[in-house]
Amino acid sequence: MSELNPFPLGNNSTDLDAVNASIKRLAEKVQLITEAVNQLHQNRTHLEGKIDDAQKRIQHILSRLPEQSDGRQLNLLGEAIPPNNPEDDSEPTTH
């Protein structure tokens, strides 16, 4: 019978007190673990929301990019870029 019950109970009330103290300690540990798991779940849910928002922002930015076949220069800063005129690339000639 001692194989099934790690706390052999006798007629002594101290044995019962020891078992009750162990149960109380275990219940407190289970409560702490439950609270930690709940906190981790909330953190994970919060981080998943932030990841989802970041993915949406990235997708929005990517949707604004020109197609690969578009030969125009990409202007992400919004500054005025003078057009690249192939005639201006040649060296000036002097006569």
Q: What band does 13 get if pLDDT is binned at 50, 70 and 90?
A: confident
Each residue's pLDDT tens digit, 37-85: 999 999 999 999 999 999 999 999 988 887 766 666 666 565 555 656 5
Global pTM value: 0.50
Q: What is the pLDDT of residue 26?
A: 98
Domain locations in the chain? Answer: 26-64
**Residues belonging to the chain:** 95
pLDDT at 88 over 70: no
Q: Are 19 and 5 in contact (CB under 8 A)?
A: no
Q: What band does 1 get if pLDDT is binned at 50, 70 and 90?
A: very low
Token output for 86: 């192939």
